[in-house]
Amino acid sequence: MTNDHEANPLRDSRDRRLNRIAGPSALVFFGVTGDLAKKKLLPAVYDLMNRGLLPPSFGLVGFGRREWSDDDFRAYVRESVQAHARTPFNEEVWSQFAQGMRFVVGAFDDDAAYDQLKATLAELDERGAQHNHAFYLSIPPKAFEQVLSKLAEHNLASRNEDAHLGWRRVVIEKPFGHNLESARELNSIVEKVFPSDAVFRIDHYLGKETVQNILAMRFSNQMFEPLWNANYVDHVQITMAEDIGIGSRAGYYDGVGAARDVIQNHLLQLLALTAMEEPLSLDSKHLREEKAKVLEAVRIKNLQESFALGQYAAGYQGGEHVNGFFDEKDIPADSRTETFAALKLFIDNRRWDGVPFYLRAGKRLGRRVTEIAVVFKKSSDRLFGRDEGDTAHQNAIVIRVQPDEGMTIRFAAKVPGTQMEIRDVNMDFGYGHSFTEESPEAYERLILDVLLGEPPLFPRHEEVELSWKILDPFEEYWEENTIKPEPYESGSWGPRSAHEMLERDDRAWRRP
């Protein structure tokens, strides 16, 4: 299936401002009782309905082992929506939404349940879904193969004979494997059942407004691009700090760690968007091509000195005492899983020649913040020499991804008074101040794009592979050398070794 948008890269850009409304369709959730579905996915679907972006006949199917009736499922969705939706609860919208809800009871290997799913979808098609079905797999990776092969066996997937009646799409939540090899295996399993243009891999960071704004900021302005290169940029810091710990997610997190959990996907995508060349158009093919070129050009120099790993120890956050990683439920005493990782990478092309990209991600850090800081070379001291102990005036452009969405430009200015004293000041753009519309949640945008069949915000398999190629050498080194992460106090900014990594380069992490 080709997408009209892909076929016409020069289409009128005014199209992009029209409200995009999903056509007749049904969405089936596997893993509907999980945390992600409850807190993010179901509320996002409701928000779309509430914003008038889904058709009235929209079908929502839950598939799971709980012995639920359709009404039990409705009650569960209602609770999740009331607790977590972004838009206000509206009884009228809810009642229409609830009419299209069904629950199918069964385990992932239960043939009778897939027959039941087929009958349920047929009924929803009559009701108005018109044979357009998306399957959302928010399930552990080990269950992917089973669910996909059952969908195929039961003629529910797109390679099946009646698929021409409508579209079939599959949505896959990360992690896409745990290294290059397993990602390739997973992909071959998925693509046996769904053709590549029907596969939507979720990296929810790409659904965030502020992440999409990176492209707008870079390529719709004249003033940044001339500076965006090794002639002016000293280095780039990408930070994803969380104040939460791993909570009850030991089952998923232990053995995965910060690098696989968020650097392989979210942070490398941020790096790609920050460093890529201007794409030919905003269509998926061109966007993905440029991102892939950057990821392909990433290099590690001197691996042993290009990382830091940490594990949070007990401490205080917001005045409250919090557990250390080893006090969390189900974490074995000898776990080497990192809850903090920092990497230093280079991009081997002319634009970024010699510019380090420092990435860090961690749990239980000082506060929740994700930002990209492009730090410029030091200004000349010729006219405004510094006193000893002064920090150099280094301009920076900081893209604040969350939570205080916006952008800061840092530059030097004269302090009022009789002396020529120079100090750094900030100029701020905040979404909340400049726009009246509230930003939609990432999942609203992404689920809508799946239903519309628009792929630009979904990483292609090649990008996933390239990202593993960047991470695998680190993971292998840590494994072969049984590297033990260094403890850091909860509420701090990570282990000592992360600071040392930058000090060696005569630089320092920003304090967000």
Which residue is nearest to ligand BG6, using beta carbons?
261
Residue number, 25 or 370, with CB nearest to ligand BG6: 370
Nearer to ligand BG6, 190 or 202 (CB): 202
The catalytic position among 5, 131, 266, 393 is 266
Please confirm, yes or no, whether 133 is among the known catalytic residues: no
Which H or E element spans position 302? none
| For ligand BG6, the closer CB: 347 or 407 | 407
| Least distance (Å) between residue 266 CB and ligand BG6 | 6
In the complex, least distance from residue 423 CB atom to ligand BG6, rounded to whole angstroms: 32
Binding site for ligand BG6 (CB under 6 A): 204, 242, 261-262, 370
Q: Token digits for 200?
A: 């939507």
Contact 167, 159 (CB under 8 A): no
Instruction: Give the nearest distance from C-beta 240 to ligand BG6 in angstroms.
Output: 7
- Shortest CB 114 distance to ligand BG6, Å: 29
DSSP assignment letter at 490: T
Tokens read off for 133:
């079905």
Rounded to 5 degrees, φ, ψ at 82 are -65, -30
Instruction: Give the residue with the Cβ less far from ligand BG6, 137 or 347.
Output: 137
C-alpha angle 488/490/493, rounded to 5°? 65
Minimum Å distance from CB 83 to ligand BG6? 16
- The answer to whether 403 touches 423, Cβ cutoff 8 Å, is no
CA-to-CA separations, 343 to 304, 305, 367, in angstroms, rounded = 10, 9, 20
- Residue closer to ligand BG6, measured from CB, 239 or 370: 370
Residue type, 37: A
Contact 358, 343 (CB under 8 A): yes
Minimum CB distance to ligand BG6 smaller for 242 or for 463: 242
Q: What is the Cα–Cα distance from 118 to 137, expressed in whole angstroms?
A: 17
Tokens of 96: 């229409």
Handedness of CA 214, 217, 220, 224 (dihedral sign): negative
Query: How many other C-beta atoms lie within 10 A of the C-beta of residue 33?
Result: 16
Shortest Å distance, C-beta 359 to ligand BG6: 14
β-bridge partners, 360:
239, 342
The secondary structure of 193-259 as a DSSP string is HS-GGGEEEE-GGGGSHHHHHHHHHHHS-SSSGGGSSTTTEEEEEEEEE-S---TT-HHHHTTTHHI
Task: Return the active site residues.
Answer: 266
